[in-house]
């Protein structure tokens, strides 16, 4: 963050369970770099069940995830993750 001269970290919260982990991380970051603030945003409910691991697993298993991620993310999935032969 300091190398990029950033002063803000924006973290997304999908569920209440995310808050505890993110809060601990924000507190640690505050100790390490007090000049950098952390802000939390709450996701739209239609995306609250998604995680990067779930998307990767579904994609690898042949699931149709195209409508669940932005086009750039889908493109990267296709470039980096080979589908599993089930």
Q: Would you state the pLDDT for residue 86?
A: 46
**9 and 36 share a domain?**
yes
Q: Which residues of 27-52 are buried (b: 16+ CB within 10 A; e: fewer)?
A: eebeeeeeeeeeeeeeeeeeeeeeee
**35 and 62 share a domain?**
no
Closest CA relative to residue 14, chosen from 41, 38, 37, 39: 41
**34 and 73 share a domain?**
no
**33 and 61 share a domain?**
no
Domain that holds residue 39: 1-44
pTM: 0.65
The SS3 call for residue 39 is: strand
**4 and 29 share a domain?**
yes
pLDDT digits (tens), the chain, 86 positions = 667 788 999 999 998 889 999 999 999 999 999 999 999 999 988 888 889 999 999 999 999 999 999 999 999 999 998 766 54
Q: Would you state the pLDDT for residue 82?
A: 78
- C-alpha span between 46 and 21 (Å, rounded): 22
Count how many domains the chain has: 2
Residue positions counted in the chain: 86
Q: Would you state the pLDDT for residue 85?
A: 56
**38 and 6 share a domain?**
yes
């Amino acid at each position: 963050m300091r190398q990029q001269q950033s002063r803000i970290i924006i973290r997304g919260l999908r569920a209440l369970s995310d808050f505890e982990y993110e809060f601990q991380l924000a507190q640690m970051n505050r100790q390490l770099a007090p000049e950098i603030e952390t802000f939390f945003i709450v996701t739209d409910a239609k995306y609250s069940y998604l995680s990067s691991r779930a998307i990767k697993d579904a994609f690898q298993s042949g699931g149709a995830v195209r409508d669940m991620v932005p086009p750039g993310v889908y493109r990267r999935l296709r470039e980096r993750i080979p589908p599993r032969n089930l």
